[in-house]
Chain A
Amino acid sequence: NAGVMQNPRHLVRRRGQEARLRCSPMKGHSHVYWYRQLPEEGLKFMVYLQKENIIDESGMPKERFSAEFPKEGPSILRIQQVVRGDSAAYFCASSQQTGYMNTEAFFGQGTRLTVV
């Protein structure tokens, strides 16, 4: 049973370009979470999705950032017109049940975005 798969592992974009980060949850998991981590810091919640639904996007910037989790295929975190401040590691996690009541979240290895 493969774990949470994120790709690419490393992504370099020039300012103004678009970045698309992909996350395939663990088999059987229908809940996906995206977090951002700056160097030497903890993880900041961005968005929580279920299949075809955004449940909580309170941590996601209102502009330039969007996320989706279609019925088929991976979850996508999309950052338009990237700026240097978007450089960070972006982690995806998935879980099986509703939220985190009594189950752990499994994390991917992350995508390290560098904006030059």
Chain B
Amino acid sequence: SQQGEEDPQALSIQEGENATMNCSYKTSINNLQWYRQNSGRGLVHLILIRSNEREKHSGRLRVTLDTSKKSSSLLITASRAADTASYFCATGIIQGAQKLVFGQGTRLTINP
């Protein structure tokens, strides 16, 4: 099964509203990262939060990490149509070598 699982799988909101996406994982992690992928494009790194951090901000993005619950959330405030994309969480883990393990993603649609 997937190390990281996003919830919900799809989210549709009105422009200006806040969007919250959640990510759960199973094993111990070094860090957790959020990426955005526009349709048919590569992944863009949004934010990295280390395992000893609880919250991090970057512009309109706010990420929280709860290692006791093995979960993270990504909040996008004051959403814009340009935020429409798929959002993936990826956990930095050590399985022999260090690598990123991705979840299935949340497909976010911002309606104008």
Chain A interface (Cβ within 8 Å of chain B)?
A: 4, 33, 35, 41-45, 48, 55-56, 58, 91, 93, 98-110, 112
Contact = CB atoms under 8 A, between A and B. Distances in A.
A106 to B, nearest CB: 7
Interface in B87-106: 88, 90, 92, 94-105
Contacts of B35: 107
B81 interface: no
Contacts of B99: 33, 45, 48, 56, 99-100
B102 A43 contact: yes
Given A99-B92, A100-B30, A102-B50, A107 B43 contact: yes
A56 B33 CA distance: 20
A42 B2 contact: yes
Nearest to A108: B42
B48 interface: yes
B64 interface: no
23 contacts: A4-B42, A33-B99, A42-B102, A43-B43, A43-B88, A43-B90, A45-B99, A45-B100, A48-B99, A55-B96, A55-B97, A56-B99, A99-B94, A100-B30, A100-B31, A100-B92, A101-B30, A102-B30, A104-B48, A107-B42, A107-B43, A110-B41, A112-B40
A43 B43 CA distance: 10
A101 B99 CA distance: 9
A15 to B, nearest CB: 24
Q: Taking each of B42, B44, B88, B92, which has the highest tally of chain A beta carbons within 10 Å of its own beta carbon? A: B42
Interface in B10-46: 30-31, 33, 35, 40-45
Contacts of A112: 40
Given A42-B2, A44-B102, A100-B92, 4 more contacts: A91-B42, A91-B43, A102-B31, A104-B45
A101 B48 contact: no
Contacts of B50: 102
B31 A56 contact: no
